Amino acid sequence: MPIMIDTFRLALKFWGVRGSTPTPVIENLNYGGNTPCVEVRLPDNEVLILDGGTGIRNLGDSLIKEFEGQKLDLKVFLTHFHWDHIQGIPFFQPLYKEENKITFYSFPFPETGANRRLGAVKGLEETLKGQMTDPYFPITLDFLPAQKEYIEIEAEPIKIGPVTIHPFYLNHPGGSFGYRLECEGTSIVYATDLEHGSQEHDRVLREYCEGTDFLIFDSQFTPEDYPKHNGWGHSTWLEACKVANDSRVKRLALFHHNPSYTDHTFFGIVQQARRKFENTMGAQEGFTISL
């Protein structure tokens, strides 16, 4: 089902909420097993997409059906290039229609850009093409007929229609972006794939989360499991609640669910989180909210 347009400034829908790897098993079907993808709908019905995990496949099918016979001009903001955040892109149906335009936004890899100047790493376009080369995929990204544009961004605001997107760096192996989207006094913060403990990153994160209406936050581990995964680039539900309280967030969505946590386990996590920050939910595929 498409997002139903009413009076709103920003609307979003979760298409993928799982971290690390898809989990298409019955014990995960309530919250969902697709990897990260969030649709953001603007007041003029323009579509922004946050991340291209396996959830983007279903989103693409939905958009083709909703806008049948119309040209699509879609903006895809990638947090980083770990596989669970880009692996749905080869199956994104709007890329297979020549009348469509898809613009990809992300940072120069890695975040400093220093290695890139030395020719040691690839830019955004080459990075995305890399997962669709032999022997990993039967066709190349260039083969797909849609118009494609690749825009490398830094931590500077981007204006798209009535929305301003503020990228900011997160503490994650290889670098990652968070995004704050603002529209006429309403805001959403998408902060996945981050690890707490870096004083500067934690300070910047709280600044961008300040007063936001809806915070989507990496909560891959419980506080008990986290010490075994220190350095993996992920956070906990407890840290999510701390940030929400510190930054006076209105609503918190726990995101990037651990692939080994079942619906039953995660339901318990949400209940614990609500004792620390009452207005907490677990991000769930198909959930839609208008702000």
Q: How far lies 282's CA from each of 251, 267, 287, in Å? A: 11, 8, 10
Q: What is the pLDDT of residue 100?
A: 98
Task: Kindly report, residue by residue over 242-285, the tens digit of the pLDDT.
Answer: 999 999 999 999 999 999 999 999 999 999 999 999 999 999 99
Instruction: Provide the 10 A C-beta neighbour count for residue 22.
Output: 19
- C-beta separation of 244 from 277 below 8 A: yes
pLDDT means per 10 residues, the chain with 291 residues, are 64 97 95 98 95 98 96 98 97 98 85 49 85 94 97 94 96 94 96 97 98 98 97 97 98 98 97 98 97 94
Angle, alpha carbons 134-135-140 (nearest 5°): 30
Token pair for 276: 């620390």
Task: Look up the pTM and report it.
Answer: 0.94
Number of H helices, E strands in the chain: 6, 14
Domain ranges, ordered by start, for the chain: 11-290
The whole-angstrom separation of Cα 167 and Cα 291 is 20
Strands 176-183 and 163-170: antiparallel
Task: Kindly report, residue by residue over 64-79, the tens digit of the pLDDT.
Answer: 999 999 999 999 999 9
- C-beta separation of 172 from 233 below 8 A: yes
Q: Give the three-class secondary structure for 7.
A: coil
The whole-angstrom separation of Cα 54 and Cα 92 is 9
The whole-angstrom separation of Cα 278 and Cα 105 is 34
Of 284, 216, 286, the closest CA to residue 250 belongs to: 216
The fold of the 11-290 domain, in CATH, is Metallo-beta-lactamase; Chain A (3.60.15)
Give, for 60, the enclosing helix (H) or strand (E): helix 55-66
Instruction: Provide the 10 A C-beta neighbour count for residue 147.
Output: 13
Q: What is the pLDDT of residue 6?
A: 55
